[in-house]
Amino acid sequence: MSTELLDRPDVEAAESDAVRFRVGGMDCAACAATVAKVVEAVDGVETAEVSIGNGTMRVEGSAPAEAIQEAVRRVGYSAQLASSLRGPSVPFWRQSARTFSTTMAIGTLIAAVVASLTTLPDEVSSMLFLLTLALGGWGIVISAVAAMRQRTLDMNVLMALASIGALAIGDYAEAAWVIVLFAVGNALEELALERSRRSVESLRELAPSTANVIAGGEEIPTPVAEIRTGSSIVIRPGERLPLDGEVISGASSVDESTLTGESVPVDKAVGASVFAGTLNVAGSFTMRSTSGSEDSTLAQVTSLVSDAQGSRAPSERFVDRFARIYTPIVLLAAVLVAVIPTLAGGSFDEWFYRGLALLIVACPCALVISVPASVVAAIGGSAKIGVLVKGGQVLEDLASIQALALDKTGTLTKARPELVTIATVAEMDDDEALALMAAVEKGSEHPLGQALVRSASDAKSVELEVSGFEALPGRGAVATVSGRSLWAGGPRLAAEHDAELPVEFENLQARGETVVALGEGSDVLAIFGLADEPRIEASSAVEGLRDRAGISEVVMLTGDSEPVAAAIAKRSGITRWRAGLLPEDKLDEVIRLEREVGPTAMVGDGVNDSPALAGSTVGVAMGAAGSDVALDSADVALMGDDLMRLPDAINHSRWAVRIMKQNVSVSLITKAIFVVLAPLGFVSLITAIAVDMGVSLLVTLNGLRLLRRPATHSLRETPGDPGPVAVAATAEGDVCEEDCCSP
């Protein structure tokens, strides 16, 4: 997925792969289809993807932004570059010509109603009703004409036909009411959806616009957009961080809740990673920037969430297909209701009026908006607790999960193993053995290798010349150290070199230590035992997956040895595990779970987990904050290292699917009832439009309930308590300590 979108109004699309616009005035999928077709007809545009859910358009090609905006304007909608919306906000009623004219139409409609109730001549109220039609209906007519030119039937076409029909039979008041209620309903829907869009996009604005950069020994206030990677920046208490970086001096506590959803500040010392938009709570420190303003984790997350909100869920695709068939049938039915009884001797005005009522009440507006409104809000709500769900498809897949596979290292454990035991086999002391091992593992990204390198910092070591390093996923690593061809790994790699592991290897494994051997050819030089502690929340998270999320099968998959796997599984509350797995073996296990149990999620954090993450129904990356690979590759990214977020994310997705079903059901049932009542003469035009727009607003507001911060369960240390306490944070930020939350 491409996540780099052009956000600078002074640069044309020719300089980037894609430009993102915010499109205003759309109220249905057919409107989005009209905008897409019109934009794709602009010279230089290759593709245009329009989302009704988050009101955005992503355009690829070399066409100037101005040409695209003009094309959208001609068909009655508005388009602004995404970045142009970051300035001071204006009242909603002044955001576009269409909303402004709708506001004016409300005023003239009120005046017309007052005039009709007084002794003023009928011509006065009629003129005011006609003025209301002109003010409130010009945008609708323009959009309707554009839709018909593109051979599409949307809500604007149906409403334009209904109002013209009401005028034809001389009912100016009802025609005006139809137009104003429709326009007001659309404006309110757009306002409600804009709330959910802005709740996520406002994250980007958390990063300050200027920062104090150290240059020539002085602090110089500098625009963040001009700060280069590698610059030193001073951060004081109460300041938000401008960029991603690394602490190079000082120490502090940083509130990272904007990214990870975790409200407890994280201690930061020299060498710690810090992220743009987070809040420095306590001390001062100096950081070295590691990214530009558009490449920070905060910017990436904002773009990814925005893209995800614009994606189409399977339910939405079904509703769109239904609407494309349903709308022409409704139009035909309205014509038949107006024509057939009239030909049979009925009153033309009466049956024509009933046909118009059917035309309005049967509009699938509420049905079409019901799913995208829920998707936008659900993804935004998940982002508030530090869970990035990449689209409507993933949201529905996550709700269907029945089995879960968990990697061990970095997922269930802290991924920070410590060296516990050194046993040399050859004639060398511990420090020499550790120095050689650290030299082999120096280029490794594996947590075990990094632990060995850390442990060697205090060992008797000299600068060793290292070349030919190669990581062997699932087996170990090889390198040439000062001319010696060395290998570091477990039984598999030892067997490949025909090396016989000493008895101590099995003894350390039996104690639950992860054991790595250092060898040269067929000789084992030393063995190293490391221990990795389970995360404090591991057992509570596993219990939550079973009890709160209803996951029937939780399995641990690891490349580690059987004794180590058994020890970690037991302490984490897991009853099933598979040890000694290569990356391809993990994928096979995930496929087996999907076949035997059902849709399966794989949770991992390393390169070794990539095949299983990609092959599962939903791939979940742990601790994705600051990791470009995890952000790009996973379907769901837990921005922090809190595994307790996973049951919350699953439950939130299931709530979202329930709300989608509620919205679709309410829309269909309401339409069915009034489609029957309209031809029987029980529905007026005003009632029809009130019902249509009322249901549309109802499903939109119901979907926006998902925008609330989901209840979260996490662990905290309580002074004086014997251990960690499981805490459930409600949407309002309170906590509960009920039996359901205890470890």
Local structure of 616: helix, strand or coil: coil
CB 390 within 8 A of CB 635: yes
The full 3-state SS of 450-504, as one line of letters, equals HHHHHHHHHCCCCCCCEEEEEEECCCEEEEEECCEEEEEECHHHHHHCCCCCCHH
The amino acid occupying position 436 is L
Beta bridge partners of 602: 405, 619
Beta bridge partners of 389: 636
Sheet containing 712-717: order of strands: 712-717, 724-729, 735-736
CB 260 within 8 A of CB 640: yes
As a whole number of angstroms, the distance between CA 479 and CA 443 comes to: 9
**Residue 361 tokens, joined:** 């009440």
Q: What is the DSSP letter of 408?
A: I
As a whole number of angstroms, the distance between CA 379 and CA 388 comes to: 7
User: Which helix H or strand E contains 403, and what residues bound it?
Assistant: strand 403-407
CA end-to-end span of the chain? 39
Dihedral angle at the C-alpha atoms of 480, 482, 484, 486, nearest 10 degrees?
-50
Q: Which residues are catalytic?
A: 407
As a whole number of angstroms, the distance between CA 525 and CA 505 comes to: 12
Beta strands in 144-272 (DSSP E): 210-215, 218-223, 232-235, 245-250, 252-255, 266-268
As a whole number of angstroms, the distance between CA 422 and CA 437 comes to: 11
As a whole number of angstroms, the distance between CA 48 and CA 40 comes to: 6
As a whole number of angstroms, the distance between CA 605 and CA 596 comes to: 25
Query: How many CB atoms are closer than 10 A to CB 437?
Result: 28
**Residue 173 tokens, joined:** 């008041």
Residues 6+ positions from 721 with CB-CB distance below 8 Å: none
The full 3-state SS of 416-465, as one line of letters, equals CCEEEEEEECCCCCHHHHHHHHHHHHCCCCCHHHHHHHHHHHHCCCCCCC
As a whole number of angstroms, the distance between CA 238 and CA 677 comes to: 62
Q: For 400, what's the count of Cα atoms within 13 Å in the CB-facing half-sphere?
A: 15
Residues 6+ positions from 318 with CB-CB distance below 8 Å: none
As a whole number of angstroms, the distance between CA 291 and CA 287 comes to: 12
CB 368 within 8 A of CB 186: no
Rg (CA), the chain: 31
